[in-house]
Amino acid sequence: KAGVTQTPRYLIKTRGQQVTLSCSPISGHRSVSWYQQTPGQGLQFLFEYFSETQRNKGNFPGRFSGRQFSNSRSEMNVSTLELGDSALYLCASFKGGGNTEAFFGQGTRLTVV
């Protein structure tokens, strides 16, 4: 059974550009969450999607957006990149149910120069 797949693994962008990151959850999982991980702030929740609907959103500016498709794959977009957006972006997939655990991808390392 394939795990959570995040693409690309590494990305270098210039300030002001935009970027799209992709996450394919485990087959059969309907929920996807995104986290930003930085040395200074740790793991910060970005958004959560369940059956194509955004269920929760973290405290990030509007430059951060996301969506989920009918096949449960999710994308997140960051527009007008800033140096501070450099981080590891992790995607987590959930099967559903009360005590479900998160299965994480290996992340996308974004560097903004």
Partner 1 sequence: AQTVTQSQPEMSVQEAETVTLSCTYDTSESDYYLFWYKQPPSRQMILVIRQEAYKQQNATENRFSVNFQKAAKSFSLKISDSQLGDAAMYFCAYRRPQGTYKYIFGTGTRLKVLA
Integer angstrom CA distances of residue 23 from 1, 75, 79: 16, 6, 18
Identity of the residue, 66 or 107, whose beta carbon is nearer to partner 1 in the bound complex: 107
For the chain, the first-to-last Cα distance in angstroms comes to 37
Integer angstrom CA distances of residue 13 from 6, 19, 30, 47: 17, 8, 30, 22
Judged by CB under 8 A, the residue of 2, 10, 14, 42 near partner 1 is 42
Closest CA relative to residue 31, chosen from 60, 77, 66, 79: 66
Give the nearest distance from C-beta 16 to partner 1 in angstroms: 27
**Residues in 55-94 at the binding interface with partner 1, rule: CB under 8 A:** 55-56, 88, 90, 92, 94
Classified as helix, coil or strand, 111 is: strand
Give the nearest distance from C-beta 60 to partner 1 in angstroms: 13
Stretch that binds partner 1, among 10-18, 28-36, 61-69, 73-81 (CB under 8 A): 28-36
Positions touching partner 1 (CB under 8 A) are: 31, 33, 35, 42-43, 45, 48, 50, 55-56, 88, 90, 92, 94, 98-107, 109
